[in-house]
Amino acid sequence: MRNLILLGFVGLLAQLIDGSLGMAYGVTSSTMLLAVGIAPAAASAAVHFSEVGTTLVSGAAHWKLGNVDWRTVGILAFPGGVGAYFGAVFLSNLDGDVAKPWVALLLASLGGYVLWRFLRLGGRRPQFAGRLSAYFLAPLGVVAGVMDAIGGGGWGPVGTTSLLSSGRLEPRKVVGSVDTAEFVVAVGGSIGFLTALGSEGINFGWAAALLVGGVIAAPIAAWLVKHLAPRVLGVAAGGLIIVTNAKTLLESGWIGLAPNSSTVFLIVSLLAVAWVSLIGAAVQAERAIRRREQAGQQVDVAPV
């Protein structure tokens, strides 16, 4: 019961980040499940089944608040679902012990990508204008869907950051559209895992616990997307993913360190301190920008 309550809290926290930032529900949830020893395929399967409910509620909330560009959703969703299906089948055929460090490396890389995208802004604001091409959106959906199923998360880090960096869609529409399209991705991934693993290979209790927490957080997160600074949430999510997956990688045997050794603890602790420092720096940067804006000073803009 304690583990289910903890998973519910993880689902709530992950959905708060995801619904506000357009990324990190799957990556955050999968990271936590991998950290307690759950096999990659089982972890990703539980996350995708929980996302069927959380993305439905999140999409509805974003739609009610006007955060959805339906053209983007229509082009992005189906290719994403197809990519997630085949990514799930591929992951399910990998040996768990072999796949775990590779999946952790993928998740840590995605976390680093999220972190870098927001840190590089410095004291600038993002600028968005224009229209996204279907030739850009459809392949992006396939790639993000495959990455999402294999890594247990990746739809948001790949999809949201790619859309933001295109400079064509305002941030709240990016977040709302990516979250809404993710419903189809979650369904595709879930069908893939059900086909490959069977119902006996999926822990629906884990999925239900994540779902309850996510559903509670989804409407709150959709509201928060208009009020919280994406820079701070981006640094927080990216750093959390890196720190947690670093432990898995350090204990995988790839670099010769023993599990639970003092060296592993020291490295992870230093990464955690650096992460907290970066969050503080992001908060200070956001406050400085707001002070400049209130004083009537010009603030430079840049694509995320």
- Answer yes or no: is 302 within a domain: no
Task: Name the pTM for this structure.
Answer: 0.68
- Answer yes or no: is 80 within a domain: yes
| Predicted confidence (pLDDT) per residue in 170-195, tens digit | 777 888 888 889 888 888 888 887 88
- Answer yes or no: is 270 within a domain: yes
Burial (CB count within 10 angstroms: exposed 0-12, middle 13-18, buried 19+), residue 296 = exposed
Helix (H) or strand (E) holding 47: helix 40-64
Crossing angle for the helix pair 96-119 and 230-250, nearest 10 degrees?
Answer: 150
What are the beta bridge partners of residue 301? 125
Dist. CA 265–CA 46, nearest whole Å = 28
Specify which of 17-21, 49-53, 113-117, 163-167 reaches the highest per-range mean pLDDT: 49-53
CB of 211 closer than 8 Å to CB of 10: no
- Answer yes or no: is 29 within a domain: yes
Q: Is the pLDDT of residue 138 over 70?
A: yes
Question: Which residue segment(s) compose the domain that 34 sits in?
Answer: 2-294
Residues 6+ apart with CB under 8 A from 244: 31, 32, 35
What percentage of the chain reaches a pLDDT higher than 90? 3
- Answer yes or no: is 213 within a domain: yes
Number of domains in the chain: 1
**pLDDT, position 294:** 77
| Predicted confidence (pLDDT) per residue in 262-303, tens digit | 787 888 889 989 989 998 888 888 888 888 777 777 766 665
- Answer yes or no: is 303 within a domain: no
- Answer yes or no: is 140 within a domain: yes
pLDDT band at 198 (very low <50, low <70, confident <90, very high): confident
- Answer yes or no: is 132 within a domain: yes
